[in-house]
């Protein structure tokens, strides 16, 4: 039997140990979080470098037209089909979303291309949605994000009609909804935050009226998030 005078000491030692373990867990999460941000930043930088390299390759190897005959005109996916300001195309996208402090999930979106606001700079509006739920030991937690925003994309100069790299930035409003609790006791909260988008990608025509694209974006918001998506843009005649 432990003497009574030692009970407070044992209790204090237990509290210190628990506090130390909690601090270690927090430190591990902090380091993991910083590492995740660095990895995402590196990926966004890689996208930027890839877009620049793609544009330089396309410029260095222009298509050579044969003199003996006229080849069929290839569909173009870039500046000529989106010059002028106004609704030029609508589309949808889907892909992987990796939110901060939550497992990866699937995200969906819709957008409208509004043409060029300056030489080689294209404006678009976006609507995005993703959600994620977790259930562990009877406790459930979920987060949802609905975003509305606009992005400006710089379309690199290329001579190839089959490849159009771009980089861009934008702003958006994120409507977050969070819910957590156990059966019989649920806590919910909603918050609206402004987010900054940074990213880029590549698009290519698949028909005279349709472009296929793939891009990556990193969003700085109340819940930072990284996304990789593919989509289709359908051009509209005006």
Question: What pLDDT was estimated at residue 134?
Answer: 85
**How many other C-beta atoms can be found within 10 angstroms of the C-beta atom of residue 229?**
22
Answer whether 89's CB lies under 8 Å from 236's CB: yes
Hey, CA dihedral for 113, 114, 115, 119, is it positive or negative?
A: negative
- Sequence-distant (6+) residues with CB within 8 A of 112 are 87, 89, 90, 91, 124, 125
The Cα–Cα gap between 207 and 49 comes to 28
Do the bridges between strand 210-220 and strand 139-155 make them parallel or antiparallel, or are there none, so unpaired? unpaired
- Residue keyed to tokens 């940074």: 198
Is the Cα dihedral 39, 40, 43, 49 positive or negative? negative
CA distance 203 to 214: 6
Structural Rg of the chain based on CA atoms: 25
Question: Can you tell me the distance from the alpha carbon of 215 to that of 149, in angstroms, rounded to the nearest whole number?
Answer: 16
User: Exposure string (b/e) for 163-177, b if CB count within 10 Å is 16 or more?
Assistant: bbbbbbebebebebe
What pLDDT is attached to residue 40? 52
CA-CA distance, 123 to 151, in Å (whole number)? 6
Task: Say if residues 58 and 158 touch (Cβ distance below 8 Å).
Answer: yes
**66: DSSP letter:** -
Alpha-helical (H) ranges within the chain are 7-60
In sign, the C-alpha dihedral spanning 114, 117, 119, 125 is negative
Which pLDDT belongs to residue 185? Answer: 83
Cα angle: 117, vertex 113, 225; to 5 degrees: 100
Q: What is the pLDDT along the chain (238 residues), one digit of tens a residue?
A: 544 444 343 443 443 344 444 444 444 444 444 455 445 555 545 555 455 555 445 444 444 444 444 555 545 544 444 457 789 999 999 999 999 878 899 999 999 999 999 888 999 999 999 999 988 777 888 999 999 999 999 999 888 878 999 999 999 999 999 998 888 888 999 999 999 999 999 999 999 899 999 999 999 998 999 999 999 999 987 5
Report pLDDT for 182.
Answer: 80
Write out the two tokens for 212.
Answer: 């296929």
In eight-state DSSP terms, residue 3 is -
**CATH number of this structure's domain 35-62+75-235:** 2.40.160.20
């Amino acid at each position: 039997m432990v003497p009574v005078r030692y009970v407070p000491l044992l209790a204090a030692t237990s509290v210190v140990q628990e506090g130390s373990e909690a601090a270690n867990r927090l430190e591990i999460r902090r380091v993991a979080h910083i590492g995740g941000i660095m990895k995402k930043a590196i990926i966004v930088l890689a996208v930027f470098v890839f877009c620049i390299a793609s544009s330089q390759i396309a410029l260095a190897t222009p298509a050579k037209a044969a003199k003996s005959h006229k080849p069929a005109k290839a569909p173009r996916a870039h500046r000529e089909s989106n010059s002028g300001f106004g609704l030029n195309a609508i589309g949808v996208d889907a892909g992987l979303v990796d939110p901060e402090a939550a497992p990866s999930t699937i995200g969906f979106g819709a957008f409208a291309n509004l043409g060029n606001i300056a030489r080689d700079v294209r404006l678009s509006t976006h609507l995005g949605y993703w959600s994620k739920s977790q259930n562990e030991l009877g406790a459930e937690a979920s987060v949802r994000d609905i975003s509305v925003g606009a992005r400006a994309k710089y379309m690199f100069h290329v001579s190839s009609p089959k490849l159009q790299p771009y980089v861009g930035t934008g702003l958006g409003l994120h409507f977050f909804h969070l819910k957590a609790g156990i059966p019989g006791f649920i806590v919910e909260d909603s918050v609206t935050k402004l987010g900054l988008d940074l990213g880029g990608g590549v698009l290519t025509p698949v028909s005279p009226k349709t472009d296929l694209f793939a891009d990556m974006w990193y969003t700085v918001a109340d819940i930072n998030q990284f996304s990789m998506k593919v989509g289709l843009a359908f051009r509209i005649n005006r």
